[in-house]
């Protein structure tokens, strides 16, 4: 059965939908009028309305946009990687506003989304895999200049004994901890502060300085033993690891 997720703007008006089909296939569409076209696409009548099966040409919004906009300043915002995760976490932890972005890790961050996180305390909780790490880093880089605080969940802190050999997300953690009542109190200490580029050239704990992003090249390095540890996954060309975000110094185990 298909699962349909509504993306609404600050006023509650429907901007687009994400449809999750069996097999984790996703389709995006936006409301349209009968006879409307966009490029070569024509509006189609499905589910009681007219739709263009593309979001090109419109300004999209984060999931739960109205909730973000209307939430008091003290409410934390938790960015996850997918609508299912956002809804599952919201159902278990009502003290925060949960959100994600259309397309998740597979889509580039849109500059128009950044304003919704201005002056907010944000925790980024991506999937525990390499695309999830990159998604978290990209989101953090986009909102660091406007948000009050940005942290990234460190899965080795949150769930060190998690099942091995498969991708993990926050929905898996919630399912494995059905009796956990103080979820945000678990996420908060398991999250590490992200730092802006200007602060990354301070000492990284081993006497050397943390290189700037131009010095990183993850394509130059093989799989790191700490690949799912958000403290060390970006590598320098000289094969030494450094911390991209301020989550403690660490040493690469993939080349010694």
d(CA 77, CA 151): 11
- Please report the beta strands in the chain, taking only residues with DSSP state E, as ranges in sequence order: 3-8, 14-21, 25-31, 37-38, 41-42, 44-46, 49-52, 77-80, 97-99, 121-125, 149-153, 191-193
Q: Residue 224: pLDDT above 70?
A: no
Q: Are residues 187 and 213 in the same domain?
A: no
Task: Mark which of 145, 173, 193 sits at the end of a domain.
Answer: 193
pLDDT digits (tens, 9 = 90+) for 131-160: 999 999 999 999 999 999 999 999 999 999
Range of the domain at 113: 65-193
Task: Mark which of 155, 176, 193 sits at the end of a domain.
Answer: 193
pLDDT band at 207 (very low <50, low <70, confident <90, very high): very low
Q: Are residues 77 and 181 in the same domain?
A: yes
- Greater confidence, 171 or 203? 171
Pull the structure tokens for residue 207. 């006497």
Contact call for residues 181 and 142 (beta carbons, < 8 A):
no
Q: How far, CA to CA in Å, does 117 sit from each of 120, 124, 140?
A: 5, 12, 11
Confidence at residue 100, expressed as pLDDT on a 0 to 100 scale = 97
Residues forming a β-bridge with 27: 19
In a domain, 59, yes or no: no
Task: Mark which of 139, 159, 193 sits at the end of a domain.
Answer: 193
In a domain, 79, yes or no: yes
Confidence at residue 166, expressed as pLDDT on a 0 to 100 scale = 86
In a domain, 60, yes or no: no
pLDDT band at 195 (very low <50, low <70, confident <90, very high): low
Q: Are residues 35 and 115 in the same domain?
A: no
pLDDT digits (tens, 9 = 90+) for 94-137: 999 999 999 989 899 999 999 999 999 999 999 999 999 999 99
Q: Are residues 166 and 237 in the same domain?
A: no
In a domain, 57, yes or no: no
Contact call for residues 153 and 123 (beta carbons, < 8 A):
yes
State the total domains in the chain: 3
pTM for this one?
Answer: 0.77
Q: Are residues 71 and 154 in the same domain?
A: yes
């Amino acid at each position: 059965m298909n699962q349909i997720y509504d993306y609404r703007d600050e006023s509650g008006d429907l901007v687009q939908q994400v449809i999750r089909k069996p097999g984790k296939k996703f389709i995006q569409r936006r409301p349209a009028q009968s006879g409307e076209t966009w490029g070569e696409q024509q509006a189609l009548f499905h589910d009681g309305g007219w739709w263009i099966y593309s979001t090109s040409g419109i300004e999209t919004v984060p999931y739960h946009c109205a909730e973000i906009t209307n939430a008091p300043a003290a409410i934390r915002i938790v960015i996850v990687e997918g609508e299912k995760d956002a809804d599952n976490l919201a159902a278990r932890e009502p003290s925060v506003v949960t959100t994600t972005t259309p397309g998740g890790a597979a889509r580039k961050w849109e500059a128009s989304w950044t304003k919704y996180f201005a002056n907010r305390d944000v925790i980024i909780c991506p999937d525990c895999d390499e695309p999830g790490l990159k998604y978290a880093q990209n989101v953090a880089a986009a909102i660091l200049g406007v948000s009050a605080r940005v942290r990234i969940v460190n899965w080795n802190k949150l769930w060190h004994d998690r099942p091995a050999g498969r991708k993990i997300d926050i929905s898996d953690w919630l399912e494995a901890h059905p009796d956990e009542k103080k979820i945000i109190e678990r996420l908060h200490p398991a999250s590490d502060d992200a730092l802006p580029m200007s602060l990354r050239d301070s000492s990284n704990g081993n006497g050397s300085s943390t290189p700037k992003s131009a010095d990183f090249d993850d394509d130059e390095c093989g799989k790191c033993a700490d690949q799912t540890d958000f403290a060390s996954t970006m590598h320098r060309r000289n094969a030494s690891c450094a911390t991209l975000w301020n989550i403690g110094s660490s040493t690469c185990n993939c080349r010694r």
